[in-house]
Structure 1
Amino acid sequence: MSAQQHDFRLTADELAQFHRTGYAGPFTLYEPDEIARKWARTRQDLTDCSGAVYQDATDGSEAANLSNHDRHLDNAFLADHITQPGIVDRVVSVLGPDVLCWRSDFFPKYPGNEGTDWHQSVTFANASGRPQIQWPPGSGPGGCLTVWCAFTDATADMGALQFIPGTHRTMHYDETKRMRYDPDRNTSVVKNGVRRGFFGYDYRELQIDPDWRPDESRAVSMELRAGQFVVFWSRLLHASHPHAGRTKQMRMGFSARYVPAFVRVYPGASAVEEFGARASLERYGAVLVSGEDRFGHNRIAVSTTAGHVFRRRNGAAPTGA
């Protein structure tokens, strides 16, 4: 049976574990030698940002912080990656048949880099104070499914992900607050004995209870070999280890984020604002990876036969982008 015909949906046991813990995996998408070849080529291709979505970040010094977001919209390998049946079937198991990929990000960690701080996200309003995704009232739990794929090995020593199982049921952060972007102050801060940061922000500024601390005694490490991925709720408390520097190899993770098609993406927004930069959403579009768009309130991106992606609007004027 070919990969295209294989049914990759979560089994009943896997789905039950997912709802209990907030994550599922790891699953193998590529063999290590396969992803090594593909990532080496893709890494070179990504240096050409002429087709990148966010080209007009207003703060030139921080423009690079946005320029490599959503590269699935102009890179053939990444466009193919986010629609892989091994990923999409498992996402559909949780979200239902009509699914959008609304965002992708790279997460490099170089030797000596600090770990990523504990965090949760429901609306992704943490950096700008404005929701980036919005579920209709009463339609579900909010947040999105993150599919985090290791393009290189991701061991604990090299910055593997960490989860605190079951924490997707309770939010400890208030995303209506806004964090201050200050990379000089918020990078490599020792928290509970571990050097952690959050890309120039201090996620503790959003805590509902300022005295609350994550129970790291319950944390599990999600070690992945190159080519494997894990699926988890954005609401799950997650972080990553520091890169201990025992190897010169960087750790590269690529996350693709998925929501049901009825969720509004960038509602009422014309720009994305994060990491000290602001860029227009004019070239942005969410990608329909499964089912149909029955709602018409998001800008949808369409794949070409070459695997690249261009943007168009639905018939109805979208409220986002």
Structure 2
Amino acid sequence: MDADFSLSDEEKKFFHQNGYIGPITVYSPDEMERMWKTVQRETLDRSYAAYQDDAVSGGTNIANYDRHLDIDLLAQHVCNARIVDRVASILGPDLLCWRTEFFPKYPGDEGTDWHQADTFANASGKPQILWPGETEEDFGAGTITVWTAFTESTRQNGCLQIIPGTQNKMNYDETKQMVYDESRINSEEKDGVTRGFFGYDYRQLQIDPDWKPNEEDAVPLVMEKGQCVIFWSTLMHASFPNTTTGKNYRMGFAARYVPTKVRVYPNTERVEEYGGSIPLDNYGAVLVSGEDRYGHNKIARETLRGTPFMKRDAE
């Protein structure tokens, strides 16, 4: 019988109070190092990638979204029982992975602004996920993000920070638009830390322009390679700059989960954000646990190379 990695009652209580839990060990450091070396090599082959170069516009990280759809080790990762069982403890047994993203931070890179994400509409003005009862004008649930350290993540090389308990109130209006300004990259100190948001300024979305996050309550999430943190996307989160030199980069990999009742990319055929645009022709959400009783979303049953996704059966 498969092991059960569901959260305990005490862990669930902690999560609901604080909006996060972790670090949690998914792989040993040696396992993660071997896995990342293979994945790193395989990302160079884009012949099966969901978003082909000739269909992607803009020079942003958006081209490398959803590589779990063509790289088998990443497909196994988003279905890993050590992750899925814990997320299902929070969201219920019928569960989709709807997006993955790499988050590199190289020596000299700025930190990431404090921010929250609800419908992920902040870059395009159009919600990318909608829970039942939500509309493009009325929303407020978010997604569960599982951020895994593919390399060691330290204060010096740019680890995550979170502010516990901030997940239930949005301090930002995602219907507003941010304005790209390349000159902001690696140039602006905010409360003594060089932070930005890929050339954007998240403060432009603040509901109260004079509000500031309480950094005294911030918790740094230092992680060994192979560990993850699970958190609501509406939790206030940021990262430190990478102040190291040489080759000490930090690589995070975020997998995002919602229940099957949530509509993913409603009424759109492209994702447009942060200056990039990708078509959704080859996209499919992955059913990682349980059943899809709603039929809202296109489901990918196997990778674009033909490898079946290993779904967890709900009990």
Q: Normalising by structure 1, report the TM-score.
A: 0.90
Q: Tell me the CA shift for residue 308 of structure 1.
A: 3.7
Q: Confirm or deny: 8 A CA contact 1:57 1:63 kept in the other structure.
A: no
CA RMSD, Structure 1 to Structure 2 (Å):
2.1
Matched, 1:157 2:156: yes
Matched, 1:82 2:78: yes
Alignment of 1:82-231 (within 5 A): 82-137=78-133, 142-231=141-230
C-alpha distance in 2 between matches for 1:187 and 1:265: 33
Matched, 1:237 2:236: yes
Matched, 1:248 2:247: yes
User: Structure 1 residue aligned with 2:26, among 4, 25, 29?
Assistant: 29
Over the matched positions of the two proteins, sequence identity in percent amounts to: 56
Matched, 1:51 2:39: no
Q: Deviations over 1:90-112 (max 9, x none)?
A: 00000001010000000001111
Distance 1:214 1:280, change over 3 A: same
Matched, 1:262 2:289: no
Q: Deviations over 1:5-64 (max 9, x none)?
A: 21110111110000011000111111111111110111011001111112257675x345
Q: Tell me the CA shift for residue 275 of structure 1.
A: 2.1
Uncovered stretches (5+) of structure 1, i.e. residues with no partner: 311-321
Aligned length: 306
C-alpha distance in 2 between matches for 1:305 and 1:108: 24
Q: Deviations over 1:72-96 (max 9, x none)?
A: 0000000000000000000000000
**What SS does the corresponding residue of 1:81 show, helix, strand or coil?**
helix
Q: Normalising by structure 2, report the TM-score.
A: 0.92
C-alpha distance in 2 between matches for 1:306 and 1:52: 9
Distance 1:138 1:269, change over 3 A: closer
**What SS does the corresponding residue of 2:297 show, helix, strand or coil?**
coil
Amino acid at match of 1:131: P
Matched, 1:283 2:282: yes
**What SS does the corresponding residue of 2:46 show, helix, strand or coil?**
coil
C-alpha distance in 1 between matches for 2:245 and 2:14: 34
C-alpha distance in 2 between matches for 1:217 and 1:273: 35
C-alpha distance in 2 between matches for 1:114 and 1:57: 30
C-alpha distance in 1 between matches for 2:56 and 2:191: 34
Q: Tell me the CA shift for residue 284 of structure 1.
A: 0.7
